[in-house]
Structure 1
Amino acid sequence: MKISLLKYIVIFTFIFALPDLFAQKDSVIVNDSLVFKGSFGKFKNAVSISTAREEFIFVSDLEDNKVYKLSTTGIELASFGGSGLGQNELNQPYSIDASNGLDVLVADYQNNRIKRLDINLNYILSFDFNSYNLTAESSKKIFNPNGVMTLSTGEVYVLCDATNYKAARINDYSEIGIVFGSNSIGAERLDEPVKLVKGNQLDMWILDKKTGELLNFNNFGVFVKKISKRGKNPIKSIAYFNDNLFILHPNELIIYDLKKGQYSKFYSFPAIKNLTDIAVLDKNTVLFLAKDSVHKYSIQIN
């Protein structure tokens, strides 16, 4: 009788445990394999970092108005900019993107333009919003670009002020194709967007600093979905690599698996003073940007 009763208890325990076994949508796997590998750079107010071809690192500095190209060990290979309005000058380069491995895009905030440089930081062309705004209709006038990104299609996307919208797409560096990300009521509302990165399906993810949400838009600017912030710890920045979103907090890194639609890994690290941005160099290396330097960590990504 005792054996039969014990058997039923085991069976019922297993049945009631089934929901917990399969409800892993929001689970986080704790992993402590984030290993500090050193820091490099002597920046003044570095705010944006990007990588290319798993061999080059690019950093933009707001104080000296320059973009730097570095080796994976921190050796300076080239630079572009200097304060001013000219073709080879910058005025608050808030954001850079070198992810396509061919060129480097710079959001030149105060000059109200996007600059396109080659991989060696030689000037190619600019899209000047001030010139464009002279003939653009009111709803498509663009000001204050503070984020930039390109997709594999060659389309360029910017975070900006566009009347009632906070993002725009540039077609062929000649015109504004669409504006999106409404600043009014709605699921796609963007209050204070600060970073955009490409996704895994011709789409993009935008970090809203005010709400802590990550909003997903397709390449036509149509809102798809959002990821709400976990807990109260503020999000500093985001990066994308191999179907994963890397979500940077002041002293922790969380990885969100886009294919599975769930948080997959959690890493903690000692607090870094004046942390500003994140980039992924390769499957084994993540880079944290502070105002004065780049901090390199070894990571294992499945």
Structure 2
Amino acid sequence: MAGAIAIAVCLLTWPLPSGVQPDDSVLVEEYSIGSFQRATRIVLGSHGTIYVVDEDENKLLQFSSLRDVPKSIGGFGWSSSSFDKPTGIATDGINVYVADYGNHRIQRFDRSLNYISSLSTRDTSDVMSRFGYPLDVALSEFGDLFIIDAENIRIVKFNTQGTFEQAFGDINAGKGKLQDPVKLAATNSRIYVGEKNKILVFDYFGNYIGTIGEEVIHQLTGFTISADELIAVSHESIWWFSPEGLLRKKSSLENIVSGERINQIQDVACLGKQLFILSPQKIHIFTNE
């Protein structure tokens, strides 16, 4: 299953004790690719394919390799292949899903970026299934879609047929109540919801399990999950957490060496030993050790 969002991993979820911080690690860039106006999300697909959304250009870009000129679709609008502020991407290597924030929908494309279908429930009579202003979308190994419903501040789940199944993280969720969700990831057993200062963890059925990074993460902008770690980023910092949810290392902008200065970190992705740091203008590739 392609992409960090679809890797089966079980992270235990107790927070790092307050005040315990490792020394900053130095990252040295190997190379960079891309030229964007303001990229905000990156996802890795199969066979080295990279997907990026550029919010300012209202575009989805696909890099088939690190050296190819990217293919793109989009531009501002309401047509099937246009967007009004794309804010999230998910892929299983066959389908590509884009959270189209301003149009209140999830657009589905094939791996050649041909339009397939649209999921939009904001005007449906079924109140429970409604979502608006989708901030992010995640795809599980089972093919279920999870969406950040920013209008109602919750997560909604749809099955492979596009049928609504459940909502969670709302006002009735207790400790799992969402406040300011910004990013979403799904495995075959866990749902991870990134908020500004922590990452909430739910089981596959939407039951709150625990929290990662509380008192450590500040102003989160993105995160990714690999087989043995969770990597979270803010505009100025990167944090690596162990499978037990403990902070293993961190880095900050002043300790990132790159050919073109990174002024801001938007998102992160990881594949094997390669770490992909997304800035508003470029994808910066590092060795992840």
Regarding TM over 0.5, the answer is: yes
AA of the residue aligned to 1:236: T
RMSD value over aligned CA atoms?
A: 2.4
User: Which residue, out of 127, 135, 156, partners 2:125?
Assistant: 135
* Equivalence map 1:261-272=2 (5 Å): 261-268=245-252, 269-270=255-256, 272=262
Any residues of structure 2 matched to 1:49-68 within 5 Å, and which? 49-53=42-46, 55-68=48-61
CA spacing shift, 1:230–1:297, aligned 2, 3 Å = farther
| Aligned partner of 1:97 among 87, 90, 95 | 90
The 1-side partners of 2:237 and 2:217 are apart by: 12
Deviation at 1:75, TM superposition (A): 2.5
1:205 match: 192
Most deviating of 225-234 and 145-154:
225-234
CA contact (8 A) 2:147 2:156 kept: yes
The equivalent of 1:277 in structure 2 is 267
> Contact 1:250–1:272 (CA<8 Å) still a contact in 2?
no
How far apart are the structure 2 equivalents of 1:197 and 1:208? 12
Tell me what 1:7 maps to: none
Q: How far has the Cα of 1:30 moved from its partner?
A: 5.4
Give, in angstroms, the shift of residue 94 of structure 1: 0.6
Deviations 1:192-213 (A, max 9, x none): 10001124x521111112xx11
Distance 1:228 1:184 in 2: 23
Matched positions, count: 266
Of 52-61 and 170-179, more deviation after overlay is shown by 170-179
Q: Structure 1 stretch 69-78 or stretch 29-38: which is displaced more?
A: 29-38
Post-superposition offset of 1:224:
1.2
Q: 1:235 aligns with which of 220, 224, 227?
A: 220
Distance 1:186 1:159 in 2: 18
Q: Which residue of 1 aligns with 2:209?
A: 224
User: How many angstroms apart in 1 are the aligned matches of 2:176 and 2:67?
Assistant: 39
**2: CA distance, partners of 1:162 / 1:178:** 16
Once residues 79 and 153 of structure 1 are traced to their aligned partners in structure 2, the CA distance between those partners, rounded to angstroms, is 28
* 1:174-193 matches, cutoff 5 A: 174-183=162-171, 186-193=174-181
User: Given the alignment, which residue of 225, 249, 257 partners 2:242?
Assistant: 257
> 2:138 is paired with a residue of what secondary structure?
strand
Identify which of 158, 170, 189 aligns with 2:158.
170
Structure 1: which amino acid aligns with 2:114? N
Q: CA deviation at 1:148?
A: 0.3
**Structure 2 unaligned residues grouped into runs of 5+:** 1-15
Larger Rg: 1
Asked which structure has the greater RCO (Cα within 8 Å, sep 6+), the reply is 2
Instruction: Determine the structure 1 residue equivalent to 2:13.
Output: none
CA contact (8 A) 2:234 2:266 kept: no
Q: Which ranges of structure 1 fall in alignment gaps of 5 or more residues?
A: 1-24
Tell me if structure 2 keeps the 8 A contact 1:55–1:71. yes
1:161 aligned to which of 127, 150, 157: 150
- Counterpart Cα distance in 1 of 2:68 and 2:26: 26
Aligned counterpart, 2:8: none
